[in-house]
């Protein structure tokens, strides 16, 4: 797999080192497993120590580097970008697979079975599980490590729960950077789990090569609105829990989804999304899912499809970072802070239109509203 163009990334990293902020509290590898807790001071290593440790596959150093990336401290952020810059030539070679699905579909159970299957085949797997954040602390509250006990003990796997920080899309702001660290540490497969609630799939699609969608047997009309949006982003659909008394309903759901896919645009040009059955509990369909992913790479990588997707994602990432930084600078401008309350009140009372209020604030910020 080709790494992203070095000129693009060097330019982005230089910009990001001094520009991009973070909403998240510093957290360690077990962030928030025991509930809300106050942020604590992050003890950092030197850049050389981070780089050497990650390249050597040191899990402790990798965890500390990820915590550094998640820190909201500007000095930490600057150091994190220097670490990423040094590691950049060693990234981009892993298979990046996103896994999503409606709540209750059994994502964690599937990921554990899937991850154990991959490590059993000699692969090294990093699992980035994106948890909903605590409203008070910003920490992860679902504790995926406790839901993947077998995989968490596997020496060839690494699980990192991360809080979403309240971000739209349910995917942590630093997930992309964490993915690069894991690749530099030698992991050849990165699995990213989204929270599976609407906009999160859009964010997930923007950072992985392949999206695997899990659905429940007998998914009815109440889920059609969710599925309609995300099924068009999926490169494969699995009907999970297709065991026991669910088997007949799973077969029916597969037929329904097969029919629906006939009217959908392919998520990836040149690739046909297929619907299959699986049971994370019994292991049925797990090996076949990996074979399908392997076929995706073997067919599309030589054609440059995956490289082009990653280039597009890099451009989207840059745009997102610029937009976030402009928004941060806007709301931190003392002139905007001074005028915003009165203009907001005027809009709410109907004395000023939202457009006029926005133009006034942009003028205060020094921007030209066109």
Q: What is the pLDDT along the chain (370 residues), one digit of tens a residue?
A: 444 444 344 444 444 444 333 333 333 443 334 443 444 456 789 999 999 999 999 999 999 999 998 887 889 989 999 999 999 999 999 999 999 887 788 998 999 999 999 999 999 999 997 655 544 444 444 455 567 889 999 999 999 987 655 554 435 568 899 999 999 999 999 999 986 655 667 788 889 999 999 998 986 544 544 556 677 889 999 999 999 889 999 999 899 888 888 878 889 999 999 999 999 999 999 999 999 999 999 999 999 999 999 999 999 888 988 988 899 899 999 999 999 999 999 999 999 999 999 999 999 988 544 4
Domain 6-317 has CATH 3.40.50.300: yes
pLDDT score of 131: 58
Q: Give the containing element (helix H, strand E) for 277.
A: strand 274-277
* Residue reference for tokens 């659909």: 237
Contact 176, 202 (CB under 8 A): no
Exposed/middle/buried for 218, CB within 10 Å: 0-12, 13-18, 19+?
Answer: middle
pLDDT at residue 220, as a whole number: 55
Question: What residue spans define the domains of the chain?
Answer: 6-317, 318-364
CA distance from start to end of the chain: 42
pLDDT recorded at residue 101: 85
Question: Under DSSP, is residue 294 helix (H, G, I), strand (E, B) or coil?
Answer: helix
Q: Report pLDDT for 166.
A: 56
pTM: 0.81
Q: Where does the chain have alpha helices with state H?
A: 6-19, 47-55, 59-70, 74-87, 107-120, 144-147, 149-152, 175-184, 200-205, 224-231, 247-261, 286-300, 305-332, 334-348, 354-364
Enumerate residues 6+ apart whose C-beta is below 8 A from 276: 236, 237, 238, 239, 254, 285, 288, 289, 292
């Amino acid at each position: 797999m080709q790494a992203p163009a070095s000129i693009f990334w060097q330019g982005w990293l230089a910009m990001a080192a001094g520009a991009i902020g973070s909403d998240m509290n510093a957290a360690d590898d077990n962030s928030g497993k025991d509930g809300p807790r106050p942020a604590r001071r992050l003890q950092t290593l030197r850049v050389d120590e981070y780089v050497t440790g990650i390249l050597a596959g040191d899990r402790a150093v990798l965890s500390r580097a990820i915590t550094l990336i998640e820190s909201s401290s500007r000095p930490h952020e600057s150091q994190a970008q220097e670490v990423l810059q040094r590691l950049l030539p060693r990234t981009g070679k892993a298979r990046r697979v996103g896994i999503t699905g409606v709540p209750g579909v059994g994502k964690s159970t599937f990921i554990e079975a899937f991850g154990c299957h991959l490590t059993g085949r000699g692969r090294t797997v990093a699992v980035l599980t994106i948890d909903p954040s605590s409203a008070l602390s910003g920490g992860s509250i679902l504790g995926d490590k406790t839901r993947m006990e077998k995989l968490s003990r596997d020496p060839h796997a690494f699980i990192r729960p991360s809080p979403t920080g309240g971000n739209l899309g349910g995917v942590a702001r630093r997930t992309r950077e964490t993915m690069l660290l894991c690749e530099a540490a030698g992991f050849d497969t990165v699995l990213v789990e989204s929270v599976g609630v609407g906009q999160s799939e859009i964010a997930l699609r923007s950072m992985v090569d392949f999206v695997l969608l899990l659905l429940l047997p007998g998914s009815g009309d109440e889920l059609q609105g969710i599925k309609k949006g995300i099924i068009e982003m999926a490169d494969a659909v699995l009907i999970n829990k297709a065991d026991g008394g669910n088997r007949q309903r799973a077969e029916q759901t597969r037929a329904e989804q097969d029919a629906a896919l006939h009217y959908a645009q392919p998520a990836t040009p040149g690739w046909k999304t297929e619907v299959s059955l699986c049971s994370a509990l019994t292991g049925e369909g797990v090996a076949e899912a990996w074979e399908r992913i392997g076929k995706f790479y073997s067919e599309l990588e030589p054609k440059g499809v995956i490289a082009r997707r990653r280039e597009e994602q890099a451009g989207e990432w840059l745009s997102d970072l610029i937009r976030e930084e402009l928004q941060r600078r806007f709301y931190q401008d003392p002139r905007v802070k001074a005028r915003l309350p009165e203009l907001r009140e005027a809009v709410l009372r109907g004395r000023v239109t939202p457009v006029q209020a926005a133009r006034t604030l942009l003028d205060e910020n020094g921007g030209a509203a066109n």
